Amino acid sequence: MIIAAIAVIIVLSMALVYLVEPASDDNNEDETTPTLVTPGRSHFGASEEYLFPESGEIKAGENMTFRLMIEKNKEAIMNETINVSRVNEVYSDQKLPLPEGVNISCTPSVFISYPGESYNVSLILATTEETPGDVYHFRVHRLFDSGITTLWFDLNVTSSGLAD
C-alpha cells in the first residue's frame, strides 16, 4: 500500500513538471506552451502564461516580436518583473552574452498585476545586418511576489543576403 501511494505521488509529481496548458492565438490554434512549476511552491490556478510564437525565423537586419500573455486568475496584487536572457540551449539557465547586432527590449518589463486581469508583454528582438546567422535560444523569467515562472523560445537568424 505504501509503495502504491509513493508511485501515485511520483506520477503526479512528474505530471506537474510536464504540465502543458493550451495556448491559442488567432494564427495557430494547435500550439501549446509549457507552464513550468517552481519546486516547493503551489501555483495552481494563480496565473497562466503563454508565449506566442514559441520560435521564429528572420533575416539579419530584421526584427521580431514575441508576445508573453499573462492571465491572472487569483492571488493578491503583485509586483511583476520580466527578464529575457540568451541561454546556451532550450531549457537551460546558463546565460550567454547577446551576439553582435542583437538587442532585446521588453515592454513592459516591470508592472503591478491585479487578480482577474490579463497582461501582454512585448519581447522585441532587433537584429542588424551584421548579426551572425545562427539559432539563438532565449529564456523568459517572470518574477513575481510569490514565485518565478520560466519559458524558453528560439530565434533562427539567417544571412541578410548582402554581399560583403
Domain containing residue 47: CATH number? 2.60.40.10
Question: What letter does residue 13 receive in the DSSP assignment?
Answer: H
| Contact indicator for 127, 62 with CB cutoff of 8 Å | yes
Give the pLDDT score at 6: 63
Does 164 map to a domain? no
Q: How many domains does the chain have?
A: 1
Which residue range is the domain that position 145 belongs to? 2-158
Give the pLDDT score at 97: 97
- Strands (E) across the chain are located at 20-22, 32-34, 47-52, 55-59, 63-72, 78-87, 95-96, 102-107, 110-113, 118-127, 134-144, 147-158
Question: To which H or E segment does residue 14 belong?
Answer: helix 2-17
Give the pLDDT score at 150: 94
Give the pLDDT score at 48: 86
Which segments of the chain have a pLDDT < 70?
1, 3-46, 75, 161-164
pTM of the model: 0.69
Give the pLDDT score at 5: 56
Does 131 map to a domain? yes
Other Cβ atoms within 10 Å of 62 Cβ, number: 17
Does 108 map to a domain? yes
Grid cell for residue 72 = 491572472
Give the pLDDT score at 40: 41
Give the pLDDT score at 22: 39
